[in-house]
Amino acid sequence: MKAFIIKKYSKKEKLQLTEVAEPIAKENEVLVQIQAAAVNLLDSMIKLGEFKLFLPYKTPIINGHDMAGTVVKVGSGVKNFKIGDEVYSRVGDYRIGTFAEYIAVNESDLAIKPKNLTMEEAASIPLVGLTSWQALVEIGKLREGQKVFIQAGSGGVGTFAIQLAKHLGAFVATTTSTTNIDLVKRLGADLVIDYKTEDFETKLKDYDLVLHSNRDPKILEKSLRILKYGGQLISLVGPPTPEFSEEIGLPWYLKLVTTLISSGAKKKAKKLNTTFKFLFMRAEGSQLEQITQLIESGVIKPVIDKVFPFEQTNDAMAYVESGRTKGKVVIKVK
C-alpha cells in the first residue's frame, strides 16, 4: 500500500511517499481502508521530534492520527464491528499511521461514523472532538452557567470546543483574528476578542475554566489571572505535568523531568488559588460514540478549511503549520 512516512525526525525533510506492507489486523483489531485523514499540528510535532522524549517512536513510521474509512477485515476477537462498517477514529498512540491506504485499529479506539457526515467531514472530528470532550467534560466538568475562555477559537480544537461548551450551557469567550470573528460568533461564542488589537486580560474576569493553547509564557500567566478562585486552566501545549507522566506510565526519571518543567506554572496557579492541568488527549472510542450522537442530532457541525488530495499530503502539512487554518484540514485518501 502507499503511505507517507517519517524517515527521520527533521525540520527540513518532508514526509516521503512510499510503498509499505499492508498491516495485519490482530485479534482485537479491525483493518480499515482509509478514505480520508485529517492533518493536525500534532502530526507536525511528531515529525519534528518534539514528543520523542515521551513518545519515542522508532523511525521510519507512518504519520497521521485521524481517519475515516471502511472496515475490510476484522480480528477474531472483535465484537462490535463488521466488514463494511463505516468508521472513524483518532488512533492510539504508538499505533499511528493514518496517512496511508490502510490501517489496523484496536476496536476500543474506533466508533461508527456519524451518518450525516461525509468521510472527509468525519475524519476532521476525532482528535479535536476528543480533546474538547476530555478538557471540558471529563476534566473541566463544565456546567451550565459557568464561564469558559477558549483560546484560538477559529482553529481545529477551538471550532469544536466552542460548540461543545455552548451545548453544555456555558458562557464562551474566545480569541481570533478580525477575519474570523463572524465564524466564531456563528459557532456560538458570546464574547469575541480580536487578539491583534485587544488584550483579553482587560476584558475577562472570574472565569471558571481556560482551555489554553498558546505557547507564549506571558499568555499562560495572563490566562491564570483571569480565573476565579478555584478556577482551572487546562493546557494543550504544556508544560507536561507529573500527573501526565503517571497516566502514560513514564519511567521515574521522566516523571522527575515533568515535575521540574511544570513547577513554575503550578506555583503560579497555586499562588492565584487556581489549578494548572496538562491534557494530552487519548484515543477513546466510547467518548467518540457520544460525540457521534451530538453530531447526528445537529448540535455540533464540522468546520473544514481545505481538502487536499492524498498525493499533496506535504502541502496539507505545510498549510496546517502556517497557523492560518479555519477549522480542519483534511486529506482525501480514496
SS3 percent helix, strand, coil of the chain, rounded to 5, is 35, 25, 40
> Three-state DSSP class for 23?
coil
Please name the helix (run of DSSP H) or strand (run of DSSP E) that holds residue 52, with its range, or none: none
> Hey, how many other C-beta atoms are within 10 angstroms of the C-beta on 216?
10
Peptide bond into 309 cis (omega under 30): no
Look at residues 292, 69, 38 and name the one whose alpha carbon lies nearest to residue 157: 38
Predicted confidence at residue 54, as pLDDT, reads 85
Rounded-to-integer distance, Cα 192 and Cα 210, Å: 14
Helix axes 252-271, 217-225, angle to 10 degrees: 50
Three cell numbers at 273? 488559588
Is CATH 3.40.190.10 the classification given to domain 128-278?
no
Query: Are the beta carbons of 119 and 68 closer than 8 angstroms?
Result: yes
Q: What are the phi and psi torsion angles at 232 (to 5°)?
A: -135, 140
Predicted confidence at residue 52, as pLDDT, reads 87
Q: Read off the pTM.
A: 0.97
Residue 264's Cβ-count burial label (10 Å; 0-12, 13-18, 19+) is middle
Q: In angstroms, how far is CA 180 from the centroid of its own chain?
A: 20
Fold annotation for 2-124+302-332: Quinone Oxidoreductase; Chain A, domain 1 (3.90.180)
- How does pLDDT run across 136-152, given as a tens digit for each residue? 999 999 999 999 999 99
Domain boundaries, the chain: 2-124+302-332, 128-278
Task: Using pLDDT thresholds of 50, 70 and 90, give the confidence band for residue 323.
Answer: confident
Helix axes 156-167, 126-133, angle to 10 degrees: 50
Say what percent of the chain tops pLDDT 90: 95
Look at residues 51, 44, 62 and name the one whose alpha carbon lies nearest to residue 105: 62
Three cell numbers at 191? 464574547
- How does pLDDT run across 174-232, given as a tens digit for each residue? 999 999 999 999 999 999 999 999 999 999 999 999 999 999 999 999 999 999 999 99
